[in-house]
Structures are given as structure tokens and as C-alpha cells.
Amino acid sequence: MRIYIFTMNIYIGNLDYAVNEQQLQDLFSQHGEVSSAKIITDKFTGRSKGFGFVEMPNDGDATNAINALNGTAMKNRNITVTEARPKEEGAGNRGGGFNRGGDRGGFNRGGDRRFNRD
């Protein structure tokens, strides 16, 4: 027999850049058991991107934490706390940068005919 344990993944936005994972875990631990707390950082600079995720194994505790903490101040910023949504297919690099065609911004190597070259 297999036992599956589902955790609720919670999104926390508008975090102060100085908030660390331990502080996030401590905040949510006031509302129940926390499986993990993760601050999302820039892969090049290592600096916080201002949002993170907390996993809680008990849905009731997680829902209570969301309701209690959404809109509250943490280090002088009102945080946004919601149930995390699954990442959409194809989400990731969205335009900008090097573009081999189309009209989505960035360096366009394709046949961009918006400019008269005469």
C-alpha cells in the first residue's frame, strides 16, 4: 500500500528583498506545520526576486495561513498570499532578447518590414 501525502503550495508575493527563507518559515509556522519555504532568487545575481513559496502538508492549516496572512505587513511591505497555481505550459522566456522573426520585441533578424529603407 502506498501513502501519498499532498501538500498545499502557497505563493507569497511582494516580499521585501531582505526577507530570508527562515523568516518565511517562521511566519507560516505560526499557522501550522511547514514542509518547506523557498525564496526565488535571480540565477545570476543571487538576489531575491521578491516572491517565494511555502509548502504546508495540512490543507486546513494552509488555508488558515492564507486567510490570516494575505495583505499583512512583513518588513513594511504588504505581502500577497494565495494558493500557488501550476506553472503554465510554455511559460518561461517571454519575448525580448534575440528574436528570429515575428514581432515580439528585441533584436529581430527576420524580415521586419515596418520601416521604409528607401
Q: Which residue has the cell 501538500?
A: 7
Residue 63 lies in a domain: yes
Using a cut of 0.85, tell me whether the model's pTM lies above it: no
Q: Is residue 102 part of a domain?
A: no
Question: How many structural domains comprise the chain?
Answer: 1
Find, among 61, 39, 52, the residue nearest to 80 by Cα: 52
Domain-located, residue 48: yes
Domain limits at 53? 15-73
Q: What is the reported pLDDT for 86?
A: 85
In a domain, 23, yes or no: yes
With a cut of 70, say whether residue 102 has pLDDT above it.
no
Residue 95 placed within a domain: no
> Residue 116: what pLDDT?
52
Predicted pLDDT of residue 7: 87
CATH code of residue 36:
3.30.70.330
Q: Is the pLDDT of residue 97 over 70?
A: no
State residue 108's pLDDT score.
Answer: 47
Q: What is the pLDDT of residue 107?
A: 47
Rounded to a whole number of angstroms, the CA Rg of the chain reads: 20
Residue 18 near residue 75, CB atoms below 8 Å: yes
Strands 48-56 and 36-41: antiparallel
In a domain, 38, yes or no: yes
Measure the CA–CA gap between 80 and 104, rounded to whole angstroms.
30
Angle at the Cα of 50 (from 54 to 106), degrees rounded to 5?
125
pLDDT, one tens digit per residue, over 2-56 is 665 678 999 999 999 999 999 999 999 999 999 999 999 999 999 999 999 999 9
pLDDT band at residue 117, thresholds of 50, 70 and 90?
low
